[in-house]
Amino acid sequence: MFEGLKLRGKFGELSRRLKISGETHAILWMGIDRYVVEMKQRKLDPLQGVVLMLSDAIVRAEANGSLAKIKNEHPQVYADLRSLWLFCGEMVRDDYDRFARVLMVPTAHDGSPFDAAGQ
């Protein structure tokens, strides 16, 4: 229970800090519960849980073709997701040992999911 509250709190804090739109926040918020279980099983702290959640959601959207559709139909959501992806990369760069093990990356190609979506 506390893991869920911590994950939600950290995600809310990050959304406000990065000025993520309400639409993007709501979309990501809907899927947050599935990451609470994984966060607990893998003994992740809340910020690691957020990086896992964000990177997984973005990689999944790229893999199923949704990211390209979002780019065309919801440019603000696309820009928000790109900002969140860059945030995840910064976390890995700043503390590799802590975040590299939770960052999800595309398996179909090297690079950013936004490269494949036509940035």
Residues 49 and 39: beta-carbon distance below 8 Å: yes
With CA atoms as reference, report the closest residue to 57 among 69, 47, 46, 66.
66
Residue 114 lies in a domain: no
**How many domains does the structure of the chain reveal?**
1
Is residue 116 in some structural domain? no
- Does residue 97 sit within a domain? yes
Average pLDDT over residues 13-29: 86
Residue 109 lies in a domain: no
CA distances (Å), origin 33, targets 5, 86, 90: 10, 23, 24
- Find the range with the poorest average confidence among 22-31, 41-50, 80-89: 22-31
Task: State the residue range of the domain holding 40.
Answer: 2-104
Write the pLDDT tens digit of every residue in 56-109. 999 999 999 999 999 999 999 999 999 999 999 999 999 999 999 999 988 777
Q: Is the pLDDT of residue 117 over 60?
A: no
What pLDDT shows up at residue 2? Answer: 63
Q: How confident is the model at residue 30 (pLDDT cuts 50, 70, 90)?
A: confident
In a domain, 73, yes or no: yes
